[in-house]
Amino acid sequence: MKKTSTLSMAAALMMCVVPAMAQKTASQGIDEYRAMLQDGNPAELFEAKGEDLWKKARGPKNATLEKCDLGKGPGVFKGVFVELPKYFADTQKMQDLESRLVTCMETLQGFNAAEISKTAFGRGEMANVTALATWVAAESKGMKFNLSQSHTQEKTFYEVGKRLFFQRGGTHDFSCASCHGEEGKRIRLQDLPILTKNPGDGVGFAAWPAYRVSNGQMWSMQLRLNDCYRQQRFPYPGFASDATVALSTYLGVNAKGAASIAPAIKR
Amino acid sequence: MADPMRIRAQASGDKATVRVLMSHEMETGQRKDASGKTVPAWFIQEVTAKLNGKDVFSAEWGPAVSKNPFLQFTVKGGKAGDKIAVTWKDNKGDTRTDEATVS
Amino acid sequence: MQNRRETLKQSAVVAGLLATAGFPQFAHAAFNKAAFDAKSVQDAAKAAGATSMAESKDVTIIGPDIAENGAVVPLGASSALPGVKHLLIMVEKNPSALVAMFHVTDAVEANFSTRAKMGQSSDVYAVALMNDGRALWAKKEVKVTLGGCGG
Amino acid sequence: MNKKTQLVLASLAAALVAAGCASGPSVAELNALTDKIVKASFRDQSHVKVARLTATDETNTACSEADVAGKPLDEKIAKRIEEANMKAIKWPSDGKFIGDWKQGEAIAQSGRGLTWTDSATALNGGNCYNCHQMDKKEISYGTIGPSLYNYGKIRGVSNPDDPASKPIVEYTWGKIWNAKAYNACSNMPRAGHMGILNETQVRHIVGLLLDPKSPVNQ
């Protein structure tokens, strides 16, 4: 059976003109809703918990995290968030905020990093990693993203991250770019940030960790990426795996100059 | 043990606006878990507040208040330096009190 | 000199006095189960003590026109009328309408905000329950949209 | 597994430096490294297997590569991909293209299915509203794809059974079944081809788009 005609193709193209007027009130309404939620972001609850966890002696070694080196020297937490992921010489690895916190929990406090990485989001020590990440991120609020690209691995991870971003697969042929490759698009009523360049202050990479009102959960960047991959119908990305760190590197480098608003409040 | 609340109280003129975030699941009792079992209701039922030790506010809540609840109220006569203490009690009898200073 | 038993007895009396006479305006702080179990706006108001209901311009309900997610819908109720005893926030189409009941005292303004769960688009109500038993209400419609990927 | 891959990578980088290659790894090396990282980072979860990534077809690999390069797909390859996908389209077994628009609307609304948190056996949704406007009453629609409001009406389909409507009816079926038959690197999933929707469901979606009584055409 032979199908398509150029005529129907032309018709398909013609319908691309979208009436935007009727939508205006809906998106204005949504904006108003979001504005109402800004005052009183429950992420503050997790922020407070994270700060407490940083200072508390815990784990088999009964130590605090106050000597943790998140990239700017032991104990420095201001400004580290907007420079991660980066290469760490001691672990010889590219690490994002969460994987680095887990490293500190292992080396300083004696926790088992592999065990933590296997724990489901929101449970046990993983929930503590998220709270810590929320607090550390909050300590860089308003600062601009500025990831290093000086180490070979930092450049290589950017390139790998770019390939992951455009990788089509799964049952739906989706890649990250299917939703985040063009400006001004929406899924349902959600605006989709373009992530191949700086999408602006507090958008995309500069908004997470964020509190999700739809499920009342605090979501770290690792969970954000994990759920993107889930909805892409991809298989399960390991926590702080090279793939998620490489993708974060790509997004973080692209976000250069964007001011962080993390922790944000999201749908 | 429940996590601490976040209380912000700000004086302006002759009153203080109090904003509270509480850490609580607020289970409706109508949700089912993965195995199909109903998750029992678990929610804050009573919220009270004291200004410098004197009762000023009370409310009753049902399970339809959102998870990790937000509350805002305005205390007459509240001024900078005053102590505001907020207490919640849930349907399991668990309770928590936190205090903040009006700024 | 008091013996131990008498001391106990006396403190029990003091506690009893405090409980009943301490703060009359907090006498109804116990959880009103009937009101929160009631299905409709009318039944919830009745269970909270309303004897009549009327719409009023002096009661205000604040909420968004559209909620991006029904799990968290910011709602506020207020009234400048004298004689308001309780302010109630209700969602008509929830399984039980009553979300929150705030007790108005001399110490606070009759102006409260919280956030509610909404199962679907619905009218939301602020109901001011007056000292004389009248329930004065205001309502507005809140549309709840399906966000995200519709999963 | 993290460490292992990164150590491999480190030695690769070291080798490149030793060879005096200051410009870093080549495109082929980066592609190979990405494949390695994908294999090491993703795992099976429930019914969702890693093979969904590693065993994907030329349509996806070629389009991904073009996207990374930031260039459109080579015309010849695009043509070959479109032809292969066109050939793979299954037309309705009973010749009936138009289903029940009401059921089509429910399928269009649903974004469920095929994630690792979905049941492996439940019927999947079509995800249509995620990207397209359809029924005008639904304000929560996406804009990744064009608006499909009045899809049939605009194309002059007043009776889908009329032979004059045949090209549009068939194009609509084909586009839903396998969008890549018409545009090799389309963002649109291949709903029938990849087993997202079954034949009956595709029929209902075609009904939603082309039935003059469907809210899409009001």
What backbone torsions phi and psi does residue B71 show, to the nearest 5 degrees? -140, 135
- D23, part of any domain: yes
Query: Which residue numbers in chain A have pLDDT < 50?
Result: 1-24
Residues D158, D115: one domain? yes
CB contact under 8 A, A230 and D117: yes
Q: What percent of chain C shows pLDDT beyond 70? A: 77
- Looking at residue B34, what is its pLDDT? 79
Residue with tokens 């009102």: A213
Counted domains in chain B: 1
- Give the pLDDT score at A190: 86
CA dist list (Å): C14 to C1, C11, C21, C28: 19, 5, 10, 20
Q: Do C150 and D139 touch (CB under 8 A)?
A: no
CA distance D192 to D204: 12
pLDDT tens digits, A197-221: 999 999 999 999 999 998 999 999 9
Which of D139, D149, D206 to mutate to test binding with chain A, by most A CBs within 10 Å of its CB? D139
Dump pLDDT digits (tens) for A21-33: 444 477 788 889 9
* Tokens, residue B40: 């029992």
pLDDT digits (tens, 9 = 90+) for C77-120: 999 999 999 999 999 999 999 999 999 999 999 999 999 999 99
Give the CATH number for residue D107. Answer: 1.10.760.10
Distance CA A62, CA C134 (A): 61
Positive/negative CA dihedral, A129, A131, A134, A135: negative
Q: How far apart are alpha carbons C4 and C21 in whole angstroms?
A: 26
Tell whether D148 and D59 lie within a shared domain.
Answer: no
* D163 located within any domain: yes
Supply the mean pLDDT for chain A: 91
Residues D161 and D108 in one domain: yes
Give which of B58, B31, B36 is closest to B47, Cα–Cα: B58
> Taking residues D110-136, what's their average pLDDT?
95
Would residue B74 count as lying in a domain? Answer: yes
The reply to whether D188 falls in a domain is yes
Please tell me whether residues D186 and D109 are part of one structural domain: yes
- Closest Cα of chain B to A216: distance in Å? 6
Picking from D3, D12, D34, D178 by the largest number of A CB atoms within 10 A of its own CB, the best residue to mutate is D34
Axis-axis angle for helices D166-177, D199-210 (nearest 10):
130
Distance, CA of D209 to CA of A11 (rounded, Å):
14
Half-sphere exposure of A120 (CA within 13 A, CB side): 3
The question of ipTM being above 0.90 is answered as: no
CA distance B1 to chain C (A): 22
Q: What architecture does CATH give domain A37-266?
A: Orthogonal Bundle (1.10)
Chains linked to A by 3 or more Cβ pairs within 8 Å = B, C, D
- Please indicate, yes or no, whether residues D108 and D213 belong to a single structural domain of this protein: yes
Question: Cα–Cα distance between B100 and B9 in angstroms, integer?
Answer: 7
D86: in domain? no
Asked if the structure places residue D24 within a domain, the reply is yes
* Catalytic hit among A16, A68, A176, A228: A228
Q: Residue C21 pLDDT more than 80?
A: no
Say if C148 is an interface residue toward chain D (CB within 8 Å).
Answer: yes
pLDDT score for A28 = 85
Cis status, amide bond into A263, omega within 30 of 0? yes
Residue A70 is predicted with a pLDDT of: 98
> How many C-beta atoms surround the C-beta of residue D21 within 10 A?
13
Mean pLDDT of all residues in D112-140 = 95
Residues of A in contact with D114 (CB under 8 A): 170-172, 233
Q: Residue A237's beta-bridge partner residues?
A: D42
Range of the domain at B82: 6-96
pLDDT at D8 over 70: no
Query: Which pLDDT does position D22 carry in this prediction?
Result: 53
* Candidate from C65, C69, C72 with C-beta closest to A29: C65
Pick A45's closest partner by Cβ from B26, B66, B68.
Answer: B68
Residue D128 sits in the same domain as residue D196: yes
In this predicted structure, what is the pLDDT of residue D33? 97
Average pLDDT over residues C128-136: 97
Average pLDDT over residues D75-79: 97
Q: Which pLDDT value is given to residue D1?
A: 44
pLDDT for B35 equals 85
- D131 and D207 in a single domain? The answer is yes
CA distance C120 to chain B (A): 13
DSSP-based three-state secondary structure for A195: coil
To the nearest whole angstrom, how far is the Cα of A24 from the nearest Cα of chain C? 12
SS3 C75: strand
Q: Indicate if A176 belongs to the active site.
A: no
Residue D88 resides in a domain: no
pLDDT on residue D24: 77
In angstroms, the CA A239 to CA A116 distance is 9
Q: Is D206 exposed, middle or buried (0-12, 13-18, 19+ CB in 10 A)?
A: buried
Q: Which domain holds residue D48?
A: 2-74
Work out the burial of residue D171: count CB atoms within 10 Å of its CB; fewer than 13 is exposed, 13-18 middle, 19 or more buried. Answer: buried
Domain spans, chain A: 37-266
Residue B33 sits in a domain whose CATH number is 2.60.40.10
Residue C65, SS3?
coil
Q: Residue D37 phi/psi, 5° resolution?
A: -65, -40
Rounded CA-CA distance B24/B47 in Å is 13
DSSP-assigned letters across all residues of D119-188: -SSSPPP--HHHH---STT------SS---TTHHHHTT-S-TTSGGGHHHHHHHHHHHH-GGGT-TT-SS
Q: How many Cβ contacts (< 8 angstroms) between chains A and B?
A: 31
Which site among D117, D140, D144 would you substitute to test the C interface, given the most C Cβ atoms closer than 10 Å to its Cβ? D140
Contact D197, D124 (CB under 8 A): yes
